[in-house]
Chains A and B, each alone.
Chain A
Amino acid sequence: MGTWTTVSLPLPSSRRGLRWRGDRILRFVMHDRILGYLFLFPALLVIVGLVAYPFASAIVMTFQAKTAGAPGRFIGLDNYRELLRSEQFLRAVVNTVSYTAIGVGFKFLLGLSMALVLNQERFGNNLFRSFLLIPWAIPTVMSALNWRWIFDDASGLINNVLVRLELIEETISWLSNPHLAMLSVITVVIWQGTPFFTMSFLAGLQAIPKELYEAAEIDGASVLQQFSYITLPRLRPIFITAVMLSAILTSAGIQFVLILTNGGPSDRTMIFPVLAYHLALGGAQRLGMGAAVSLIFFPILVVFIVFLTRRMLREKGE
């Protein structure tokens, strides 16, 4: 503030008021502008330094043969060519799509059911809600470790119980059986991710005015009709936001696969972030190849991201 204090000069009294007012307006505008950029500068620095620059350098990297700490050598489109020819990459594409679709699909259905259930009147609902949300609050790594132990070949909970009930004679290798591994991992994804949907949908349900249902009831609408003509349309915007956000985070989520199966057995659970991780940081440290994997998937993600950006800003009235 201090730097902008005007020093009053001896001016002819007729111009003095005018000058003073103009100065004040100028001062006001200058303040907003300069202060605006000044205030946003650190945030801008973060965006540029920690997202924009790394992203741009990832693009450059995909055209290079590069290891960490060493300068890259330009090799044109070789990384992309090699990837598109590799069976492992194609498998990762298929896996990522089914992993995301099944995971998000079940999270959505379970989340919606739970939101509807918690929206019914019931003693102790608040307590149940808090409890059901805990899987979301637990660090993902901890859930992954816990589930790895639950699925354990020899002494895990599932095998333990199944043997006890004499349903199986040999224990089942949930995470290393090629037919079961993917389903096992998706189960964990659903366990951890359902609360997010429950929370979002429940908030949406509670925002629907009760009068709508009362009016429909007077008109003789059945519960199913009320659901499909009032509840579903009202929840639609939340459906879209939640599904898109979850699709981005599920497909790009690396922790469950990394800890539960590490992409195995024989790439059955290999999804793109894990493949990128293996190529870039496993043995050969081919950073360019790893970056290329992520970048091929970026166009799909970016559609979701742009769409969501618009929605999230609209909700904030920007």
Chain B
Amino acid sequence: MALRVTTQRRVLQGVGNGALVLMLLWTAIPFYWMIATSLKHDKEIYGYEATLIPQRPTLENYATVFRETPYLLFLRNSLAVAAGSTLLSMVIACLGAYAIARLNFPGRAFLARSLVFTYLVPTSLLFIPMFAMMSVLRLTDSLHGLIIAYLGFDVPFCTWLLMGYFKSVPVDLEEAARVDGCNRVGALLRIVLPMSLPALVVVTFFSFTHAWNEFLYAHVFTSTTSARTVTTGLVNFMSQDVFFWGPLMASTVMSALPPVLMFLVFQRWVVKGLTLGGVKG
């Protein structure tokens, strides 16, 4: 019997190897096409001479992006919005999560529940009233407007994630510090936060990449080039029905690189954080 199970396992291992190869190909081919296109001359991209593998690789498309489009401005805008909303949501979430995890006050459970609930309401249900609100507040076409709008997603998510982590920090440590004359703010800054470093990394990763990747709000709230981010600036390339796929793929590669690199670096923590709650299903 044991032998049979071993045989079964061996067969499954073979099937698994095969499936893995297929899955790797399925995942890799779109990346390959993106990168290959970005390295081709137009002649190799369109028409009869189109190739599958770039014959004479060139960085011309990348140069075109910087020369002929305001890509640097888009990059700067994305960076500013991502950094701004990450910083703000970190501060707000740390305070909120600490309150829910450690302080005892009426309405605490209700507030925790509303935070999670808020996080799960998709932005596509909110973008219409948000657009109306932003128009009234004159926050359209502005990076400040985007930073504020992204808090609506980042704060609930970060608070929820940190809340769980803060609870796992031993209370004794904090109490010892407080006996030594440390107040709540001091305990948060000196004991809880340093011990929650992995969670802070995850939270930073999520809010930063969320802001970097966000499309709907950025697209709806912005109508001028000056406040466009990487995601919306790119789409605008093709809105006039002129597709220059070479430069477009070059900018796609460059825009996808920061979140992918961040993911690869912080992967271990991110996977843990993601399986706890997850975003982007």
Q: A227-273: which have CB < 8 Å to B?
A: 238, 241-242, 245-250, 252-255, 259, 273
Checking B13, B129, B243, B276 against A58 with a beta-carbon cut-off of 8 angstroms, the contacting residue is B129
**Interface 0/1 of B110-143, CB less than 8 Å to A:** 0111111110111111111111110110000000
CA distance A255 to B103 in the complex (A): 40
> For the complex, is B220 an interface residue (Cβ under 8 Å from A)?
yes
CA distance A38 to B254 in the complex (A): 42
Write the nearest CB–CB distance from B10 to chain A, whole angstroms.
Answer: 10
Q: Given A68-B132, A222-B8, answer yes or no on A51-B111 (Cβ-Cβ < 8 Å).
A: no
Q: A23-61: which have CB < 8 Å to B?
A: 31-33, 35-40, 42-44, 46-47, 50-55, 57-58, 61
Write the nearest CB–CB distance from A280 to chain B, whole angstroms.
Answer: 5
CA distance A193 to B279 in the complex (A): 10
**A-chain residues with CB within 8 Å of residue B29 when the two chains form the complex:** 157
Closest to B99 in A: A39
Write the nearest CB–CB distance from A153 to chain B, whole angstroms.
Answer: 11
**Total residues of chain B contacting the partner, CB 8 A:** 113
> For the complex, is A98 an interface residue (Cβ under 8 Å from B)?
no
Checking A38, A68, A199, A315 against B271 with a beta-carbon cut-off of 8 angstroms, the contacting residue is A199
Q: B1-50: which have CB < 8 Å to A?
A: 1-2, 4-5, 8-9, 12-13, 16-17, 19-20, 23-24, 26-31, 33-34, 37, 45-47, 50
Q: Given A114-B23, A117-B20, A308-B120, answer yes or no on A43-B155 (Cβ-Cβ < 8 Å).
A: yes
**A-chain residues with CB within 8 Å of residue B126 when the two chains form the complex:** 50-51, 54-55, 58
User: Which residues of B does A touch, CB under 8 Å?
Assistant: 1-2, 4-5, 8-9, 12-13, 16-17, 19-20, 23-24, 26-31, 33-34, 37, 45-47, 50, 52, 91-93, 95-96, 98-100, 103-106, 108-109, 111-118, 120-133, 135-136, 148-149, 151-152, 155-156, 159-160, 163-164, 167, 183-184, 209, 212-213, 215-216, 220, 230-231, 234-235, 238, 243, 245, 248-249, 252, 255-256, 259-260, 262-264, 267, 271-272, 274-281
